[in-house]
Amino acid sequence: MKLETSMVLRSTSDKTGSYNCQLSLHLNLWYTRSFVTMATKGARGTVTAAPGFNAEEDAQKLRGAMKGAGTNEATIIEILAHRSIEQRQRIKEEFKKTVGKDLADELKSELTGNFEKVVVGLLMPPAVYDAYELRNAIKGAGTDEACLIEILASRTTEEIKAFTAIYNKEYGESLEDDICGDTSGMFQRVLVSLLTAGRDNSSAVDEALALQDAKDIYEAGEARWGTDEVKFLTVLCTRNRNHLLRVFEEYQKISGRDIEDSIKREMSGTLEDIFLAIVSCIRNKPAFFAERLYKSMKGLGTTDSILIRIMVSRAEVDMEDIKAQFLKMYSKTLYSFIKGDTSGDYRNILLELCGGEK
């Protein structure tokens, strides 16, 4: 089943007339605002709401960009890369109302390749995009474990609940069941734990528990033959950020190593990857994304799926911080990396989402 990118909630039936269609559009906008609030609260994004926004005008410009022979990609980039998520949803509504066609479908019929993937992604609300990416990661050829790890390790409990609900509704299947059907072992158990969105949302630190957690992890790994991965899961997947930062400090005192070093010594494969991703997101989420962006572009070839997903999903959230971390970590700008590793309209839209050299 293919995800409908034009609406979160569909019109019940064409036969019910315009009333239900309009009701569905209003519900779609209400859901979008809820998801956008989750994703962009306290945002440090490069993409912000455009002043003097006019959805009808933008819809007509997009129609003109696709009318006749050829496509005006520059207009598409100028509009979609410089409107907030909520504004893009309003453009989609206006396009359907005034043109009678779905904007995403029209753009997909005009565009191709990675440029199309970026544009289609920008038209989705955050939770819908995460659900879409997870579906592709699970149902495509093989399993894209890197996508599962990135999304589940980096999203908040509210965001996890939102994309899980969307996934279950849009595909008529359980996200948990689909993940379990495509993964195995302790890696699967960590994914399921994260999917329950059971992490403590408070900022409280229990000093005694933090010390005990550090001891438990040490005794489950470095201090014994073999590794009790469940102890790592329990602590890393359920404790709040402030508490875990304290646990990491205590662990270093007890073991003489950073927890990342112990994870690398004690584990391997996807289990190592997901625990390291969790720790990285707890310590510094923008740095986590900066490293993934760097690795997606360094050397020969580009892992476009990672590059696209991060640029689309973080442009309105924390891209400014990601850019700063990228420069700090690699002494080069993210903008220059993208410019040197991509081309054409694909490069142009990514550079706009990046928000400039600085």
Q: Kindly report the pTM of this predicted structure.
A: 0.89
d(CA 177, CA 303): 28
Q: Which pLDDT does position 19 carry in this prediction?
A: 37
Query: Are residues 28 and 300 in contact, defined by beta-carbon separation less than 8 angstroms?
Result: no
Question: 3-state DSSP call for residue 11?
Answer: coil
Torsion angle in degrees (nearest 10) through CA of 352, 354, 357, 358: 130
CA dihedral (182, 140, 4, 286) in degrees, to 10, reads: 80
Q: In the prediction, which pLDDT does 226 show?
A: 61
SS3 state of residue 173: coil
Q: For 63-114, what is each residue's pLDDT tens digit?
A: 999 987 789 999 999 999 999 999 999 999 999 999 999 999 999 999 999 9
Note whether 222 and 259 are within 8 A (CB). Answer: no
C-alpha span between 134 and 128 (Å, rounded): 10
Q: Which residues of the chain have pLDDT under 50?
A: 1-27, 30, 38
Domains defined for the chain, CATH in brackets: 17-122 (1.10.220.10)
Residue 7 Cα distances to 32, 103, 120, 128, angstroms: 9, 10, 12, 9
pLDDT of residue 301: 87
**Three-state SS at 62:** helix
Q: Which amino acid is at 33?
A: R
Predicted local confidence at residue 299, as pLDDT: 85
Terminal Cα-to-Cα distance of the chain (whole angstroms) = 41
Q: How far is CA 346 from the centre of its chain?
A: 19
Q: What does the pLDDT read at residue 224?
A: 65
Residue type present at position 274: I
Q: Which of 339, 185, 331, 354 is nearest to 272 (CA)?
A: 185
The pLDDT value given to residue 335? 98
